[in-house]
Amino acid sequence: MTSSVFSVLLVSLVFCVSVVDPTGVKIRITNQALNMLRNQAQAIVQERLLNQPFDRFQRSICTIDRLTITQLTIHQAELRFRQNSGFQFVMQNFEARFSFNHQLDLGVYQHAGAKEFVAQGVSANMELSLIRTQQGRLAVAMPTCEASIERMTLLPGTLLNLLTGCLRHLFNFLFCPLVQRFAIPYVNQMLETIPMRAAVFPGFGISIDYSLTRDVQVTANSLDMSFNGLVFREGENIPAPNPAVEPVFTQNNLMAYVGVSEFVFNSAAVAFYNAGILGKKFETITSKAAKRYLRFRQFFSQPWRMKAPLAAAVELTEPPRISITQRQGVTVNLRVRVSAASVPANREPKVITSVSSHAILYINNEE
């Protein structure tokens, strides 16, 4: 069985410039990746169509049963983007060997048996649409498909004329239904195994939602998929998302691009803050000057704890706010409180003094 191919693509992190509905992660696949995708599509067709018996078919005097592709050789295939739809997959000049049972009814004469035939110069043209389901999953559909055959050789050659007419007519209705029945569902089954939510920090109950937020956008040179990217804590009410900016791609030089918006970082900051990951932690104070100052303050507020160790902590008073712009890069707004406390052994710390502050961190997006 052909396994799913998850190749490592060349990836570029792209920041965001235009306001739209919340889209945390956006992936662009360009025409630089079409050869790899074509090879995968070709492998799926070859694997899923082999040894799959087709339904009984009857036309005029002949009945064909258990028609099965036993050999399939594809010499030429091409995959290209189809604007506003998905892909156009074209296979040309391929060969196929079929086995089948037949029955001829000529009135006064009947004949039944098993035979094979070889189809040569076969071509197939398939439109593959990418669909966003109601659950936010990616699915594949095949709205149109055309197949044709140039030459057909019956093995052995008895009753050639009678059977060839039936088989040629049958092939026009055979290949595309085989793809529709066996190849397309296989691809969708693989896509259904991809969860739309995944745990990123299971110990803290933090997960990410990467369901599709809109239909796939396809141009002649690229394909864009927009994902939610919301980071949240399991079991908590998910707040309404704030207006976000969507990643915008301006190049198609690499095989793929990944854009991450501030929506992902801000939702992650809220989840981490609520989970207590960004909570305070007291550390022992070693500065002599700081100790003298705190002991002086402690003499008037906690004289009974003058011999207790001193410790300090820095904590966030609200989730950090992150913004991303082309001009300033990444900006992180923090509201923090610095506290100093006495920490006797086996007893709760008691704050001596605390100071609140607002800090802004800049991370420039410079090459």
Report DSSP letters for 41-82, one per residue: HHHHHHHHHBT-PPPPEEETTEEEEEEEEEEEE--EEEEEEE
Q: Rounded distance, CA 335 to CA 40, Å?
A: 50
Q: How does pLDDT run across 95-150, given as a tens digit for each residue?
A: 988 888 877 776 666 777 777 888 888 899 999 999 999 889 999 999 999 988 88
What distance in Å separates the CA atoms of residue 142 and residue 87, rounded to the nearest whole number? 10
**Residue 81 and residue 219 in contact, taking contact as beta carbons nearer than 8 Å:** yes
Asked if 341 contacts 311 with a C-beta cutoff of 8 angstroms, the reply is yes
100 forms bridges with which residues in the sheet? 115
Is cis: bond before 195, omega within 30 of 0?
Answer: no
Q: What is the CATH number of domain 31-192?
A: 3.15.10.10
> Which residue intervals of the chain bear CATH 3.15.10.10?
31-192
In this structure, what token pair is assigned to residue 311? Answer: 């410790």
Amino acid at 3: S
CB 268 within 8 A of CB 320: no
Residue 189: its pLDDT value, please? 95
179 Rama class: left (phi>0) / alpha (psi -120 to 50) / beta: alpha
CB atoms within 10 A of CB 273: 16
- pLDDT tens for residues 154-201? 766 555 556 666 676 667 677 888 899 999 999 999 999 988 888 988
Whole-number Cα distances in Å, 246 to 129, 224, 243, 251, 309: 24, 12, 10, 16, 50
Tens digit of each residue's pLDDT, the chain (367 residues): 443 333 333 344 444 444 445 788 999 999 999 999 999 999 999 999 899 887 777 767 778 788 888 999 998 999 999 999 999 999 988 898 888 887 777 666 677 777 788 888 889 999 999 999 988 999 999 999 998 888 877 766 555 556 666 676 667 677 888 899 999 999 999 999 988 888 988 888 999 998 999 999 999 999 999 999 999 998 887 766 666 678 888 889 999 999 988 889 999 999 998 888 887 777 888 888 999 999 999 898 989 999 899 999 888 888 999 888 778 788 899 999 889 999 998 888 899 999 998 888 887 755 4
337-346 burial string, b = 16+ CB within 10 Å, else e?
A: eebbbbbeee
The predicted structure's pLDDT at residue 162: 62
